[in-house]
Amino acid sequence: MPAKLLMRWDIRPETESEYFEFLVHEFIPGLNKLGIMDIQVWYTQYGECEQKLASGITPTAEQMRTAVHSDEWEGLISRLQQYVERFQKKVIAATGGFQL
């Protein structure tokens, strides 16, 4: 069964342009190299929740476990946390449609 990675965070205002460059040129390609595909990122414009929600899918739960326990994952998250705060992640079974 496919697995879905859900991530949430807020961008640090002072790092917004650097964050965007990192996201496009390193973070998303890095997730793809780990086998996490169909990356989607949403911006929250209104409400009391995190500013960004992102997701990605692997074909199996085992592939997701391998990806999020790798040194490459740790490096990506470490770099991401230079630009964001309140980072959270969870892995769920992927079903059709939008999932929180």
Q: What is the pLDDT of residue 98?
A: 61
3-93 architecture in CATH? 2-Layer Sandwich (3.30)
Structure tokens at 47: 């409400």
Backbone angles phi, psi at 73, to 5 degrees: -60, -50
Q: What is the pLDDT of residue 51?
A: 77
Q: What is the pLDDT of residue 56?
A: 96
Q: How many CB atoms lie within 10 A of CB 65?
A: 13
pLDDT 10s digit of each residue in the chain, 100 long? 999 999 999 999 999 999 999 999 999 999 999 999 999 998 776 667 677 899 999 999 999 999 999 999 999 999 999 999 999 999 999 887 665 6
Q: What is the pLDDT of residue 97?
A: 67
Torsion of the alpha carbons at 55, 57, 60 and 65, rounded to the nearest 10: -40
Q: What is the pTM of this model?
A: 0.88
Residues 32/39, Cβ–Cβ less than 8 Å: yes
Backbone angles phi, psi at 36, to 5 degrees: -90, 115
Q: What is the pLDDT of residue 23?
A: 95
Residue extents of the structural domains in the chain: 3-93
Q: What is the pLDDT of residue 42?
A: 87
